[in-house]
Structure 1
Amino acid sequence: MFFLMECTHHGDKDLDRDRLRPAHREWVASGGKGLARVLVGSAVWNEDGSARGHFGILEAAEERDARAFADGDPFAIGGIVRDIRLMRLADGFQAHRIDPMTK
């Protein structure tokens, strides 16, 4: 199954986010140690250039695996993430058109 993950960040955590970024990137590269495969993702910004959060398109066997991936992210554990939304994508989602971030 495929999921859109939207994570909203707290606005006052720039230094913590910078400190945790290497661990966050390792988590993404490993798919949360096999919980999910990250097809694509990115930071998202407010119009003023401040950090708003991040998103990812995940492939996971079940929603609980996608949730465990999101909840286990060092950004979430480290208090950067304020809110996580997971939305299941259509069964016909054309994932083959994306070069995955998790190999």
Structure 2
Amino acid sequence: MAFFLMRCMNAPDVDDLREKTRPEHRAWVSSGGKGLVSVLIGSALVDDEGRSCGNFGILEAKTRADAEAFAEGDPFRKAGIVAEIELTPLPETFQAHRISEPMSPRLPAD
């Protein structure tokens, strides 16, 4: 298993579309993209004025390709809300066990 920091930045002027798409996005996250990944923690990102500008997540995935598929399959991405996705691998020493309540089911160990 590998861990990734996923950072998604919004396109400009997508507030209304984001609100409309939010239930689908939350269902995607809570299912781990239908089992592609485990979302350990995540949240909206805001700018200095408190306006939503994107979101982040800590993902556990079997492969980078699975993490990429999760990010690309997000309804926010498909609707054009997310303009930019950045996936950064986390070190093997990342202490995932410290996140006590993951946002989606944990992936089974191989």
TM-score class normalised by the smaller sequence: over 0.9
Given that 1:29 and 1:101 are in contact with CA atoms closer than 8 Å, whether structure 2 keeps it comes out as yes
In the other structure, the counterpart of 2:23 is 22
* 2:102 aligned residue (94, 100, 103): 100
Task: For structure 1, list consecutive stretches of 5 or more residues without a partner in the other structure.
Answer: none
Identity of aligned residues (%): 54
In the other structure, the counterpart of 1:44 is 45
Report the secondary structure of 2:25's partner residue.
helix
Shift of 1:11: 2.1
Task: For structure 2, list consecutive stretches of 5 or more residues without a partner in the other structure.
Answer: 106-110
Q: Distance in 1 between matches of 2:12 and 2:38?
A: 28
Residue by residue over 1:44-95, the C-alpha shift from the partner in whole angstroms, topping out at 9 and shown as x without a partner, is 1001122110000000000000000000000000000010000000011110
TM-score, length-scaled by structure 1: 0.98
TM-score, length-scaled by structure 2: 0.92
In the other structure, the counterpart of 2:108 is none
How many matched pairs? 103
Task: Give structure 1 regions of 4+ aligned residues with deviation exceeding 6 angstroms.
Answer: none
